[in-house]
Amino acid sequence: MSKSLNHLLQDARIWQGHKPQKHASPAEHTGYQVLDNQLGGLGWPKGALSECLLDSCGIGELHLVLPLMQKVARQGKTIFWLNPPHTPYAPALARAGVNTDQLVLVQTHDSADFLWTLENCLRSPVTGLVMAWPGKLATRDIRRLQLASEAGNNVCILFRERRQAEQHSPAALRLELIPGEHQDLKINILKRRGSWPGQRCTLALGHRAGIQASDPTGVIQGPWSQDGAT
């Protein structure tokens, strides 16, 4: 095999069908072993976009990202919330072990402002995690954000409508989130870099990080209104 071909095959961006990658791309563990196992033992890719596709907010998507928020905050990195549909409930996040001093909430006025802000958050050296609710995005805009994510080498999670799964996206990871029973969250892997999609798993979020499903102000219970009430 030529050196050039061998170099290409070692590149994680080259899809090799069913063949698993021998050289893993940088990633942050999700904090859920069952999900990491379905993601090739990795987790949220760094330097790449991830998409969570869901029908409505408040089904457990924040709890899914909670272990990563905890880790990023402990590292002293900034967690950006860009255009969340509701105001995050800081007391619940603090009880879950997330240092709220590391959280920055940004609301933009239009799509151009959103893209500019998100791009600069991704490129910032202080950033550890960006969570964004973009609404409708053109494929060219997603490519632009992917380049910014590569430059910043951090984790970016876009929360998008489930129907947008039909749109072509250069995101490295695409997860379909479906609410289950008893605070469970069903996850279908629609796309993951370097391997076949189609894996599925169910997470029992109600007992994660000591937050009980019965807690009316728990992270998993969102969304929250502007005054922080449930």
What is the chain's pLDDT, residue by residue, as a tens digit (230 residues)? Answer: 555 655 544 454 554 544 444 445 789 999 999 999 999 888 999 999 999 999 999 899 999 999 999 999 999 999 999 999 998 889 999 999 999 999 999 999 899 999 999 999 999 999 999 999 998 888 899 999 999 999 999 999 999 999 988 888 889 999 999 998 777 899 999 998 877 777 889 998 754 433 333 333 333 333 434 444 33
What pLDDT score does 41 carry?
A: 84
- pLDDT score, position 95: 92
According to the model, what pLDDT value does residue 218 have? 38
pLDDT score for 183: 78
Provide the 3-class DSSP secondary structure of residue 38.
Answer: helix
At 92 the three-state DSSP class reads: helix
Cα–Cα distance between 72 and 163 in angstroms, integer?
A: 30
**By CB neighbour count within 10 A (0-12 exposed, 13-18 middle, 19+ buried), where does 76 fall?**
exposed
Q: What's the helix, strand, coil split of the chain in %, to 5?
A: 35, 25, 45
Q: Which residue has the tokens 């089904």?
A: 59
From CA 21, how far away is CA 146, in angstroms rounded?
Answer: 21
Residue 50 bridge partners (DSSP)? 157, 173
pLDDT score, position 2: 57
Rounded-to-integer distance, Cα 166 and Cα 83, Å: 23
CA gap 10, 7 in Å, rounded: 5
pLDDT at 228: 40
- For the chain, list the domains and their CATH numbers: 27-182 (3.40.50.300)
Query: Where does the chain have alpha helices with state H?
Result: 3-9, 33-38, 61-74, 90-95, 111-123, 139-152
Q: Would you say 69 and 154 are in contact if contact means Cβ atoms under 8 Å apart?
A: no
| Burial class, 108, CB count within 10 angstroms (exposed 0-12 / middle 13-18 / buried 19+) | middle
Q: What's the confidence (pLDDT) of residue 169?
A: 87
Q: How many CB atoms lie within 10 A of CB 150?
A: 14
Closest by Cα among 167, 215, 153 to 53 = 167
